[in-house]
């Protein structure tokens, strides 16, 4: 760990120091501490280096022991219970239905990158029945039940889960380009989830925060693997290309309601779903600050990834061949 526990253990947690009456500045400091703890260059390198092994021998990352019985509403800090629970409910509805998400991703990847398709969505037989569940799905499917349990413990009620329909796979003339758009969307949603869990951890402590940490570690793991894989498969991708693709997604959304690349729609829906309208200005600022902190760490790491070391890790990229 990069910081030293100089205070008594009772007012320190995974996000550093906390005080019951947190100021806006305190919240931002907690976000920064969480970023420094969970999204370091060493962590990102390690999570990407783990990908080849997971492609051949998928192994579920075990969660640490969680003291579920200790979760209680007095572990919320700088946020009231109703607002936190509204956000939690939105998160539950955004995490589900993971089966739909993994199966559409599998279809986008299947012909171009079968090993990665298996990692995200498992395998199907000739009749299209799922015969093996992908590692991404196995790890993600723990999230909804954990969040639902937290919701029940904090609110005293069972969450009313209303999952979205996952956007189905849309074939296109250029599968390589189609996968690029889809992959960007997936990286963006893993990044959004990671940032949201950092924000939730900044507003919580104790066992509640420890549960959220497990979800955060999963999201960072997936985000990093998808990002690194994307950079390997699309070595010609640049900030400009990403910007163009996202821009296209915005324009397409206006003219074509069936497009799979409707990122602004997803973001708007997510903010509404997460009860953003109930958040205080400080809480909103803390999320924007989280987005900024995490993207800066990702770009710094991204600069260290060269096509040569990605090829050394994942084999020679056949992006050019598959584009023809």
Residues that bind Fe ion (CB under 5 A): 95, 140, 143, 190, 193, 219
Q: Token pair 């074509």 is at which residue?
A: 256
> Which residues sit opposite 76 in a β-bridge?
204
Cβ-closest residue to Fe ion?
143
DSSP 145-160: HHHHHHHHHHHSS---
Q: Which one, 193 or 233, has the nearer CB to Fe ion?
A: 193
Minimum distance from residue 167 beta carbon to Fe ion (Å):
16
Minimum distance from residue 272 beta carbon to Fe ion (Å):
19
Q: Which one, 193 or 211, has the nearer CB to Fe ion?
A: 193
Minimum distance from residue 166 beta carbon to Fe ion (Å):
13
Q: Which one, 13 or 190, has the nearer CB to Fe ion?
A: 190
Minimum distance from residue 254 beta carbon to Fe ion (Å):
27
Minimum distance from residue 6 beta carbon to Fe ion (Å):
34
Q: Which one, 22 or 223, has the nearer CB to Fe ion?
A: 223
DSSP 33-100: HHHHHHS-HHHHHHHHHTHHHHHHS--PPPPPP--GGG--GGGB-SS-HHHHHHHHHHHHHHH--HHH
DSSP 182-242: HHHHHHHHHHHHHHHHHHHHHTB-HHHHHHHHHHHHHHHHHHHHHHHHHHHH-TT--HHHH
Q: CA-based Rg of the chain, rounded to a whole angstrom?
A: 20
Q: Which one, 110 or 190, has the nearer CB to Fe ion?
A: 190
């Amino acid at each position: 760990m990069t910081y030293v526990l100089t205070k008594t253990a009772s007012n320190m947690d995974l996000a550093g120091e906390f005080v019951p009456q947190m100021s806006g500045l305190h919240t931002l400091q907690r976000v920064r501490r969480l970023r420094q703890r969970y999204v370091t260059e060493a962590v990102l390198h390690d999570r990407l280096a783990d990908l080849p092994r997971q492609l051949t021998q998928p192994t579920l990352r075990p969660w640490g022991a969680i003291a579920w019985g200790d979760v209680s509403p007095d572990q919320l800090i700088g946020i009231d219970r109703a607002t936190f629970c509204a956000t939690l409910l939105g998160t539950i509805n955004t995490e589900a239905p993971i089966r739909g998400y993994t199966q559409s991703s599998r279809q986008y990847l299947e012909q171009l990158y079968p090993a990665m398709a298996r990692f995200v969505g498992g395998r199907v037989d000739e009749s299209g029945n799922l015969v093996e569940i992908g590692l991404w799905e196995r790890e993600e499917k723990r999230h909804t039940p954990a969040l639902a349990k937290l919701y029940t413990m904090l609110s005293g009620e069972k969450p009313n889960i209303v999952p979205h329909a996952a956007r189905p796979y849309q074939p296109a003339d250029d599968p390589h380009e189609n996968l690029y758009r889809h992959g960007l969307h997936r990286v963006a949603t893993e990044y959004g989830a990671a940032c949201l869990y950092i924000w939730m951890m900044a507003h919580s402590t104790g066992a509640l925060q420890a549960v959220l940490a497990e979800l955060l570690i999963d999201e960072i793991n997936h985000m990093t693997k998808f990002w690194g894989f994307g950079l390997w498969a699309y070595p010609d991708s640049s900030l400009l290309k990403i910007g163009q693709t996202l821009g296209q997604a915005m324009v397409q959304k206006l003219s074509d309601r069936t497009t799979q690349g409707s990122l602004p729609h997803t973001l708007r829906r997510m903010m509404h779903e997460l009860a953003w309208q109930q958040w205080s200005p400080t809480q909103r600022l803390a999320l924007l600050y989280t987005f900024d902190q995490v993207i800066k760490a990702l770009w710094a790491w991204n600069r260290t990834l060269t096509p040569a070391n990605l090829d050394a890790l994942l084999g020679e990229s056949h992006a050019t061949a598959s584009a023809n």
